[in-house]
Amino acid sequence: MLIGNNRIIVIDEAQRVSEIGLTLKRITDNFTNVQLLVTGSSSFELQSNLSEPLTGRKYEYHLYPISTAELYDSQGLLPVKQMFESRLIYGSYPDIINHTDEAKELLMNIANSYLYKDLLAMNEIRRPILLEKLLIALALQVGSEVSYNEVA
Protein backbone atom coordinates (compact mmCIF):
# COMPACT_ATOMS: atom_id res chain seq x y z
CA MET A 1 0.00 0.00 0.00
CA LEU A 2 1.27 3.49 -0.84
CA ILE A 3 0.29 4.98 2.50
CA GLY A 4 2.01 2.36 4.67
CA ASN A 5 2.93 3.78 8.08
CA ASN A 6 3.16 7.37 6.83
CA ARG A 7 1.20 9.89 8.84
CA ILE A 8 1.58 12.77 6.37
CA ILE A 9 0.93 12.35 2.64
CA VAL A 10 1.78 15.17 0.22
CA ILE A 11 0.18 15.25 -3.23
CA ASP A 12 1.43 18.03 -5.50
CA GLU A 13 -0.35 19.06 -8.72
CA ALA A 14 -3.43 17.17 -7.56
CA GLN A 15 -5.52 18.52 -10.43
CA ARG A 16 -3.64 16.09 -12.70
CA VAL A 17 -4.80 13.00 -10.79
CA SER A 18 -8.01 11.53 -12.17
CA GLU A 19 -10.84 11.37 -9.64
CA ILE A 20 -8.64 13.06 -7.03
CA GLY A 21 -11.64 14.15 -4.94
CA LEU A 22 -12.91 10.61 -4.50
CA THR A 23 -9.39 9.30 -3.81
CA LEU A 24 -8.82 11.92 -1.11
CA LYS A 25 -12.22 11.17 0.42
CA ARG A 26 -11.36 7.47 0.65
CA ILE A 27 -8.00 8.17 2.29
CA THR A 28 -9.58 10.64 4.74
CA ASP A 29 -12.41 8.28 5.65
CA ASN A 30 -10.32 5.10 5.96
CA PHE A 31 -7.04 6.39 7.42
CA THR A 32 -8.03 8.77 10.22
CA ASN A 33 -4.44 9.08 11.48
CA VAL A 34 -3.18 10.29 8.07
CA GLN A 35 -2.91 13.99 7.30
CA LEU A 36 -3.15 14.97 3.62
CA LEU A 37 -1.45 18.03 2.18
CA VAL A 38 -2.75 18.56 -1.33
CA THR A 39 -1.52 21.30 -3.64
CA GLY A 40 -2.39 22.36 -7.13
CA SER A 41 -1.32 25.17 -9.39
CA SER A 42 -4.57 25.18 -11.34
CA SER A 43 -7.15 26.26 -8.81
CA PHE A 44 -10.12 26.01 -11.19
CA GLU A 45 -9.34 22.43 -12.14
CA LEU A 46 -8.59 21.42 -8.58
CA GLN A 47 -11.68 23.12 -7.18
CA SER A 48 -13.96 21.39 -9.66
CA ASN A 49 -12.51 17.99 -8.74
CA LEU A 50 -12.59 18.49 -4.97
CA SER A 51 -15.77 20.35 -4.17
CA GLU A 52 -18.29 17.65 -3.22
CA PRO A 53 -16.30 14.66 -1.94
CA LEU A 54 -14.47 16.53 0.85
CA THR A 55 -17.25 18.70 2.29
CA GLY A 56 -16.56 19.12 6.00
CA ARG A 57 -13.21 17.32 5.77
CA LYS A 58 -10.91 19.99 4.37
CA TYR A 59 -9.23 23.30 5.10
CA GLU A 60 -8.37 25.49 2.16
CA TYR A 61 -5.40 27.84 2.06
CA HIS A 62 -4.89 30.28 -0.77
CA LEU A 63 -1.38 31.53 -1.42
CA TYR A 64 -1.25 35.09 -2.60
CA PRO A 65 1.61 37.09 -4.14
CA ILE A 66 4.07 38.72 -1.76
CA SER A 67 2.56 41.70 0.07
CA THR A 68 4.13 45.11 0.58
CA ALA A 69 4.23 44.44 4.33
CA GLU A 70 6.21 41.23 3.75
CA LEU A 71 8.66 43.06 1.50
CA TYR A 72 9.01 45.86 4.02
CA ASP A 73 9.67 43.38 6.85
CA SER A 74 12.35 41.54 4.88
CA GLN A 75 13.97 44.36 2.88
CA GLY A 76 13.09 47.70 4.46
CA LEU A 77 11.47 50.86 3.14
CA LEU A 78 13.96 51.92 0.46
CA PRO A 79 13.75 48.71 -1.64
CA VAL A 80 9.95 48.75 -1.32
CA LYS A 81 9.86 52.29 -2.71
CA GLN A 82 12.36 51.44 -5.45
CA MET A 83 10.33 48.42 -6.57
CA PHE A 84 6.95 50.17 -6.40
CA GLU A 85 6.55 51.00 -10.09
CA SER A 86 7.79 47.59 -11.19
CA ARG A 87 5.37 45.86 -8.82
CA LEU A 88 2.49 47.94 -10.19
CA ILE A 89 3.34 46.76 -13.70
CA TYR A 90 4.48 43.17 -13.11
CA GLY A 91 2.89 42.23 -9.79
CA SER A 92 4.38 40.55 -6.75
CA TYR A 93 4.91 36.95 -7.70
CA PRO A 94 8.03 35.69 -5.88
CA ASP A 95 9.87 34.79 -9.09
CA ILE A 96 9.29 38.27 -10.51
CA ILE A 97 10.52 39.99 -7.35
CA ASN A 98 13.63 37.78 -7.25
CA HIS A 99 14.41 38.22 -10.97
CA THR A 100 13.36 41.77 -11.84
CA ASP A 101 15.48 41.80 -15.01
CA GLU A 102 13.27 39.02 -16.43
CA ALA A 103 9.96 40.37 -15.06
CA LYS A 104 8.16 40.79 -18.40
CA GLU A 105 9.06 37.31 -19.64
CA LEU A 106 8.18 35.71 -16.29
CA LEU A 107 4.82 37.48 -16.14
CA MET A 108 3.93 36.36 -19.67
CA ASN A 109 4.85 32.81 -18.72
CA ILE A 110 2.64 32.95 -15.62
CA ALA A 111 -0.23 34.43 -17.61
CA ASN A 112 0.04 31.86 -20.38
CA SER A 113 0.58 28.90 -18.08
CA TYR A 114 -2.07 29.54 -15.46
CA LEU A 115 -4.35 32.52 -15.85
CA TYR A 116 -5.29 32.12 -19.50
CA LYS A 117 -5.42 28.34 -19.24
CA ASP A 118 -7.82 28.48 -16.29
CA LEU A 119 -10.01 31.17 -17.84
CA LEU A 120 -10.12 29.42 -21.19
CA ALA A 121 -10.91 26.03 -19.64
CA MET A 122 -13.50 27.38 -17.22
CA ASN A 123 -15.46 29.29 -19.84
CA GLU A 124 -14.64 27.13 -22.86
CA ILE A 125 -13.43 30.21 -24.73
CA ARG A 126 -12.60 29.22 -28.28
CA ARG A 127 -10.84 32.43 -29.39
CA PRO A 128 -8.12 33.20 -26.84
CA ILE A 129 -6.94 36.25 -28.77
CA LEU A 130 -10.23 37.97 -27.86
CA LEU A 131 -9.54 37.34 -24.17
CA GLU A 132 -6.08 38.85 -24.51
CA LYS A 133 -7.46 41.91 -26.32
CA LEU A 134 -10.15 42.33 -23.66
CA LEU A 135 -7.60 42.19 -20.83
CA ILE A 136 -5.37 44.74 -22.57
CA ALA A 137 -8.35 47.05 -23.19
CA LEU A 138 -9.41 46.77 -19.54
CA ALA A 139 -5.90 47.48 -18.30
CA LEU A 140 -5.59 50.57 -20.51
CA GLN A 141 -8.98 51.97 -19.57
CA VAL A 142 -9.07 51.64 -15.80
CA GLY A 143 -11.94 53.76 -14.58
CA SER A 144 -13.44 54.13 -18.05
CA GLU A 145 -16.17 52.25 -19.85
CA VAL A 146 -14.90 49.59 -22.26
CA SER A 147 -16.77 49.01 -25.52
CA TYR A 148 -16.74 45.56 -27.08
CA ASN A 149 -16.10 47.17 -30.49
CA GLU A 150 -12.76 48.48 -29.23
CA VAL A 151 -11.71 44.94 -28.31
CA ALA A 152 -12.83 42.99 -31.38
Summarised one tens digit per residue, pLDDT across range 96-118 is: 999 999 999 998 888 777 666 66
Helix (H, G, I), strand (E, B) or coil at 6: coil
- Total H helices, total E strands in the chain: 9, 2
Domain ranges of the chain: 1-63, 68-145
| Angstrom distance (rounded) from CA 42 to CA 148 | 28
The mean pLDDT value of the chain amounts to: 79
For 122, half-sphere exposure in the C-beta direction (CA atoms, 13 angstrom radius) is: 15
Alpha carbons 152 and 148: distance in angstroms, whole number: 6
Band (pLDDT 50/70/90 cuts) for residue 67 is very high
| 3-class DSSP assignment, residue 152 | coil
- Which is it for strands 35-38 and 8-11: parallel, antiparallel or unpaired? parallel
